[in-house]
Every structure is written in structure tokens, then in C-alpha cells.
Amino acid sequence: MSCWESEGGGSMILVTQLPFYRIHEIDLYFLKNVEILKPEESVIFVDNVYHEKQKEILKRILPADVSVRYGNWRNRHEAWLDILSEFNSGDLVVIDSDNVVSPHFKKVLGLGEPVMGIMDGGAWDDERSRNEFLRRSRKAYEVDGIPIYKFTVINKGRGAFFFFGPKQAVVFRKFPDTEILEKLRRALKNVNSWLMNIITDETTLAVICHLMGIKETAWTVASRHYHHGSMKRDVKRDRFLIAMAHAQLAKGLAREFGQKEFKMYYWRYRLSQVRNFGDVILCK
């Protein structure tokens, strides 16, 4: 059989998403993943596509054996919702466009975890980055010497309230139902479009896991990240805007789902807005 199959017999779909200006990463990295994993179907979601000429260019430069979805979402969150709406069965692997899976990636695919994240080796080698994830994780088990950790998606102490954990690639075997996706889509509309990209997609993925009843996400190290370097953010300077964006999302989530966790999420970042308002004044 040409495609990889899990122990449960489900065929794998390999997906990536990226903006139009990073389309070169398909040739540099994504096609290498296709070659390594040999999925049943390879799909590319391309953002910031709003003109027929762009589609013509993509048809000329992209290989014929990959499927393409065009959109002008202008954020990764809504693209994720479309991915999970279309591919909601079997084994779904969504990999960041600037990553290449490690040779042992296939070993962790068959573990049967409902959702699993992948960290890149560079982040693991960086002590500060590694410890940030380990502080919120526990070692669950090993597979052929490969440690598998479990990351807590809700943090009621310090740090990001909702966070998925490592996600250079994400493996889904359990999927949110249509109602969750539609309510989440409405909640995202509560966030000002200029602030949407301040919220990382790790937040949205953690919210989805929480709504599916998943309290911990499995993760391990199994990719190499080639940083695209096209954008840098001064997190300290942007704390007020980050808090504002999260408070808006939390308010939308509380309205749609009414859970106490979303109300706690809202007050965490509403108070952060107040604390960091002075930074906005000083920057002027």
C-alpha cells in the first residue's frame, strides 16, 4: 500500500497552511514531508489569496499531486477551523510549513493519542524553551526510547491560560463536532481583526481540546524547524494589546459556551490589560 496507515487502519491526510508570501516553503520543506510520510492526500491551505492571478500563479508553480485550498482568512485561527471542518476523520497531520519531520516521526503516529503535538529539535536543545514546556508537562511513557510527555492545556496559575503545547506539527485522531467549530467561529468574530494575529493558534487549539474534554495533550520531539524569520514581535511592549486580544476572545467564548473556565480566562486578561495600560502611555 502506498500510503501510511495507522494501527486502526485509518489513512493519513497531511496538511499545511501558510500565507501567499511564504509559498516557497512548499518546495523547501512541505514536499520533503510528503516524500517521508507518503500520505494518502497532501493538502495546502494558502492564505491571503483574493485575486484570480494569484490562483493562476499557484497552479503554475505547485505540483499537480497536491490539493490546494485558497482563502483570505488573514489569520491562522479561521484556517484551522476550515481544516478541521473538512478533515474530521481518520488520521490528520497538520504541520507548520517551515518544518520537516524527523525520521522517527512515524513511530509516534501509531500511538493512538487523540491529539498529539510535536516539538522541533532546536527548541528542545534550547534550555529555556525546553523548560518552559516541561514546567507544564509530565513524562507519561516512552516508545522505543522516545519520551512522550503530557502538557496541561489550562493553566490557572501564571502563564498563558489556554495553551496547546508544542505544535510544529499536530496529529488529530479525535475531532471537534460541527457545533463546537461554529460556536468557536462566532467567538473569534468578537476579536478585533487587527488584534487577531496577536493570539497564537496554540490558544485556539487548546480551547478546542478543552471543549472535546482533553485536559492534556501528548507531545514529543520529532521535527526540525527552519525559522522563516519574516516577523518578530516585542512581547513586552505588546503586553497590553495581547491582553486586550485575549480578553475579547474570552468574552466571545464565555458568551458562546458559558463555561466557568472561559470566565476565568476573561478575568485573567482583563486584569492584565489594567496592569499593562501604563506601558501604552509610556510608549507614546
pLDDT at position 224, please?
A: 96
C-alpha to C-alpha distance for 125 and 248, rounded to whole angstroms = 35
**Closest Cα to residue 43, out of 108, 109, 90?**
90
Q: Where are the beta strands (DSSP E) in the chain?
A: 12-19, 41-47, 67-70, 91-95, 99-101, 115-120, 137-143, 146-152, 169-172, 216-225
Q: Which helix (H) or strand (E) holds 259?
A: none
Q: Which residues of the chain have pLDDT under 70?
A: 1-10, 228-237, 277-284
Determine the angle formed by the axes of helices 239-257 and 178-188, rounding to 10 degrees. Answer: 140
How far from each other are the two terminal CA atoms of the chain, in whole angstroms? 62
Instruction: Give domain limits for the chain.
Output: 12-231, 234-284
Residue recorded with cell 473538512: 86
C-alpha to C-alpha distance for 125 and 129, rounded to whole angstroms = 8
pLDDT at position 71, please?
A: 96
pTM of the complete model: 0.91
C-alpha to C-alpha distance for 13 and 158, rounded to whole angstroms = 36
Give me the CATH topology for the region 12-231.
Spore Coat Polysaccharide Biosynthesis Protein SpsA; Chain A (3.90.550)
pLDDT at position 229, please?
A: 61
Strands 99-101 and 41-47, sheet pairing: unpaired
Cite the DSSP H helix spans in 120-177.
121-125, 127-134
pLDDT at position 238, please?
A: 84
